[in-house]
A and B are shown apart, each in its own frame.
Chain A
Amino acid sequence: MSTVPFPGERPATPVPTAAAREAAGRTRPPRGRVRPSAAVVRVVVLALGALLFLVPFLSMVSGSLQVAADPSPAGLLPGAGETTLDNYRAIDEAISLGSGLLNSGIFAGGVILATIVFGSLAGYALAQLEFRGRGAVFALALLVQVVPFQLLLVPLYILVARDYGLADTHLGVMLPFLINSTAVIIFRQYFLQLPQDVFEAARMDGASELRVLRSVALPMVRPALLTVVLVTFIGPWNEFLWPFLVTKEADQQPLAVSLANFITTLSGQVANPTGAVLAGACVLAAPAVALFLVFQRRFTSTDIGSSVKG
């Protein structure tokens, strides 16, 4: 899920940067007086919820290390039972984790790159340049997000496989996601918030529009770049159906597709299929979780909120 509709146009008033707002949110005094009992309830609720959210991941890691997957509650502990790395070896032999990860990386990386380059161009044009059809382009970006992508699946598949000749290529896998429309809107949003006179000043210096965008506008919207990278990353990294359709050759498949194929058809080939599936799941989950943890402090609710709320 990476599409985020954008309910209405936002007035072009400058707002504090996301970081500033987040800082403000952090230091805001608590609402009313929190009674101790309420605070305890809150922690208990949050902890219980977090437990439910994390148990599957715990099970994923533990199961991937067990010689035979242990479905009992005790088996949740990572050290439970005999530990081994055989499951990782088995899944690697069956579907080649390295090439799967590489393909996933190329897929997500290519989409992020194209989105940053072309998305910022489009976002900048929509926010700062007056040209014929600007309203129409913006409306298209909104419309694109409401049409379920899956509707276009079959025709797009025919076009990509036959007319564009892109079956089993990285470009074919990336194509439908190449420029994330949400990112275009996020860029537009941030560029709208920048004060006009900065641009005018740069233009007066004789800078070309491209230079204004690269040297003036983009550095000022760093938070937007991070938001775009994270919002855009999740889409292709998690996407299953489209790459599943366009990649038939194993060495072109992103890891999500090869792991799914393993689950549905190949699992009979290994001694401990459940362990192998869980090991594959760990490898597939790890990069996204790591990326998130690294950037977590910067990727805050206000950040995504401002880009989504409108």
Chain B
Amino acid sequence: MRTRAPHRAAVATAAALALALPLGACGAPQAVDAETAATARGPITIWYSNNPQEVAWGEQMVAAWNAAHPDEPVRAQEIPAGTSSEAVLSASITAGNAPCLVFNTSPAAVPEFERQGGLVDLDTLPPGEDGQTATDYVTARSGDLAEQYASEDGHFRQLPWKSNPVMVLYDKEAFAAAGLDPEDPPLGTYDELLETARTIVGSGAAPNGLYPSPSSQFFQPWFDFYPFYAAQTGGTQLVEDGRPTFDDADGEAVFDLWRTMYAEGLSSPEIYNGDAFADGAAAMSMAGPWAVAAYTDTVDWGVVPVPTAEGTPADETWSFSDAKNIALYSACENRATAWDLARFATSEEQDRLLLEMTGQMPLRSDLLGTYPDWFAENPAYVPFAEQAARTVEVPNVTSSTKVWQAFRNAWSAGVIFRSEPVGQALDEASSDVADLVSADAARGERS
């Protein structure tokens, strides 16, 4: 045992050396002075999403701005394509090198970014030439939908930008092959949905009815549970007034529906490598208006609103918004320019271009009334535009990621893999979420 003595020496050395170094703070990046930055103008950097359509829109938007504002040039680049844009943004907030604006900020991440001190309260910025404060501007543009995006203190730290309301797409060829009416498929109620899925799988038209990703990432509920819950409840958020809402008859109905889907093999618990809908591995899919461009060449598709237990008229059905917003990051030094650009990018003209170039829905009130000619030319988008008026957002709670992860874990147990009864899964999810939200509240009071 000759190693004993050196071991002790090593521990002592390591500890001594480590303690001699200042913890973490050395060489940390400097913070921006908020007061100066709020009125400062000059060059800024922005990031936008990396899909080709949004890049094209972003390029023309920046070019238009730069032509009109040579003193305040904007440098734009695609958001670094890491694992998820939330992880990239969180890392750049911590590192102090976030850009001024990110045109791809997930509302689910906003509370966490806010807690990190990474976002600017838009009301701290000088009012525009028309005297509108940020809150005025957001409310004027987005109407009632804006409310869901306000922070707990009522201020906005994100400019609601565009939504991708989730609806049910179906493959007309597969439906016809299964002997279903491809123009008016029975998908209004849960019973109809189940019966339709059984017909499809039973006839061999497709191996699955619906095939959402069964993986345990925190955001997956947005594409299975949440649209159904929004539809079933007429627009209730997962958490309201600091309390989880879903441990009730409506939540149970959604859980039961999906549990049946998995139990009867109408949905698969196995992760699909690829796009199940495009490949014909599923006859239906949960998708937003991005799907119009994505599937038009490959699938002859139709679209219906998300079913509810008893059936709801299409024009009263709610769904999940899957929105992406614009946020102003605290590392920004020329915030006045950044805010001007954000307003420019959400003007009626730029919103129209966004609609034309990406097919995604600007978060404006009365979308159909604002751009009637465009929708007349592009009828495929009309159902999504109608749906966009009735969308529900993720709850604006600090521990958003943890809340969704806890929920997803319960969903895995109660629905996908059925290792627990639905009631127990719901109870567990509800009490976990309640704990997380009340811990947030406690933390909020303390600071």
**Least distance between B75 CB and chain A CB atoms (Å):** 16
Residue of B nearest to A168 (CB): B80
Establish whether residues A135 and B91, one from each chain, have CB atoms under 8 Å apart when the complex forms.
Answer: no
Q: A136-B13, A163-B28 are in contact. Are A248 and B3 (CB under 8 A)?
A: no
Selected contact of B27 from candidates A8, A164, A249, CB within 8 Å:
A164
A158 to B96, CA, bound (A): 12
How many contacts between A and B, using CB within 8 angstroms?
Answer: 92
Flag B79-111 by CB within 8 Å of A: 1 or 0 each.
011111001100110111000000000000000
Query: Does chain A have a CB within 8 A of B446?
Result: no
A135 to B274, CA, bound (A): 55
Sample 12 A-B pairs with CB under 8 A, ordered by A number. Answer: A9-B2, A9-B3, A133-B13, A135-B5, A136-B6, A139-B10, A140-B10, A143-B11, A159-B24, A165-B95, A167-B91, A261-B83
Establish whether residues A162 and B28, one from each chain, have CB atoms under 8 Å apart when the complex forms.
Answer: yes
Flag B6-46 by CB within 8 Å of A: 1 or 0 each.
11011111100000000011111100000000000000000
| A:146-174 near B, CB below 8 Å | 158-159, 161-165, 167-168
**Least distance between B416 CB and chain A CB atoms (Å):** 18
Query: Does chain B have a CB within 8 A of A267?
Result: yes
Number of residues on chain A facing chain B (CB within 8 A): 36
Q: Which residues of A contact B84 (CB under 8 A)?
A: 265
Contact-residue bracket for chain B: 20 to 34
A250 to B82, CA, bound (A): 6
Establish whether residues A163 and B26, one from each chain, have CB atoms under 8 Å apart when the complex forms.
Answer: yes
Query: Does chain B have a CB within 8 A of A277?
Result: yes
Query: Does chain B have a CB within 8 A of A263?
Result: yes
Q: A248-B88, A249-B80, A249-B82 are in contact. Are A268 and B275 (CB under 8 A)?
A: yes
Q: Which residues of B contact A268 (CB under 8 A)?
A: 274-275, 278
Q: Which residues of A contact B2 (CB under 8 A)?
A: 8-9
Establish whether residues A161 and B94, one from each chain, have CB atoms under 8 Å apart when the complex forms.
Answer: yes
Q: A168-B80, A244-B83, A249-B82 are in contact. Are A139 and B7 (CB under 8 A)?
A: yes
Flag A244-258 by CB within 8 Å of B: 1 or 0 each.
100111100000000
Establish whether residues B10 and A143, one from each chain, have CB atoms under 8 Å apart when the complex forms.
Answer: yes
Q: Which residues of A contact B26 (CB under 8 A)?
A: 163
**Least distance between B351 CB and chain A CB atoms (Å):** 27
Of the candidates A139, A247, A265, A270, the one having the most CB atoms from chain B within 10 angstroms of its own CB is A139
Query: Does chain B have a CB within 8 A of A13?
Result: no
**Least distance between A133 CB and chain B CB atoms (Å):** 7
Query: Does chain B have a CB within 8 A of A87?
Result: no
**Least distance between A214 CB and chain B CB atoms (Å):** 28
| A:1-15 near B, CB below 8 Å | 8-9
Q: Which residues of B contact A140 (CB under 8 A)?
A: 10, 13-14
Query: Does chain B have a CB within 8 A of A273?
Result: yes
Query: Does chain B have a CB within 8 A of A274?
Result: yes
Residue of B nearest to A140 (CB): B10
Q: Which residues of B contact A9 (CB under 8 A)?
A: 2-3
Interface of A is mostly: helix
Query: Does chain A have a CB within 8 A of B273?
Result: yes
Establish whether residues A142 and B3, one from each chain, have CB atoms under 8 Å apart when the complex forms.
Answer: yes
Q: A136-B13, A265-B83 are in contact. Are A162 and B94 (CB under 8 A)?
A: yes
Query: Does chain B have a CB within 8 A of A72?
Result: no
**Least distance between A186 CB and chain B CB atoms (Å):** 17
Q: Which residues of A contact B3 (CB under 8 A)?
A: 8-9, 139, 142
Q: Which residues of B contact A296 (CB under 8 A)?
A: none
A84 to B411, CA, bound (A): 41
Q: Which residues of A contact B9 (CB under 8 A)?
A: 133, 135-136, 139
Query: Does chain B have a CB within 8 A of A57?
Result: no
Q: Which residues of B contact A248 (CB under 8 A)?
A: 80-83, 87-88, 91-92
Q: Which residues of B contact A270 (CB under 8 A)?
A: 274
| A:220-271 near B, CB below 8 Å | 244, 247-250, 261, 263-265, 267-270
The 9 A-B residue pairs with the shortest CB-CB distance, nearest first, are: A139-B6, A248-B82, A139-B10, A268-B275, A273-B274, A249-B80, A135-B6, A136-B9, A248-B88
Q: Which residues of B contact A139 (CB under 8 A)?
A: 3, 6-7, 9-10
Q: Which residues of A contact B88 (CB under 8 A)?
A: 248
Query: Does chain B have a CB within 8 A of A138?
Result: yes
A158 to B24, CA, bound (A): 8
**Least distance between B17 CB and chain A CB atoms (Å):** 10
Selected contact of B273 from candidates A133, A158, A277, CB within 8 Å:
A277
**Least distance between A298 CB and chain B CB atoms (Å):** 31
Q: Which residues of A contact B92 (CB under 8 A)?
A: 248
**Least distance between A268 CB and chain B CB atoms (Å):** 4
A175 to B11, CA, bound (A): 22
A168 to B80, CA, bound (A): 10
A110 to B82, CA, bound (A): 23
Q: Which residues of B contact A163 (CB under 8 A)?
A: 24-28
Residue of A nearest to B25 (CB): A163
Establish whether residues A250 and B273, one from each chain, have CB atoms under 8 Å apart when the complex forms.
Answer: no
Of the candidates A135, A165, A250, the one having the most CB atoms from chain B within 10 angstroms of its own CB is A135
**Least distance between A12 CB and chain B CB atoms (Å):** 12
Residue of B nearest to A246 (CB): B91
Q: Which residues of A contact B11 (CB under 8 A)?
A: 143
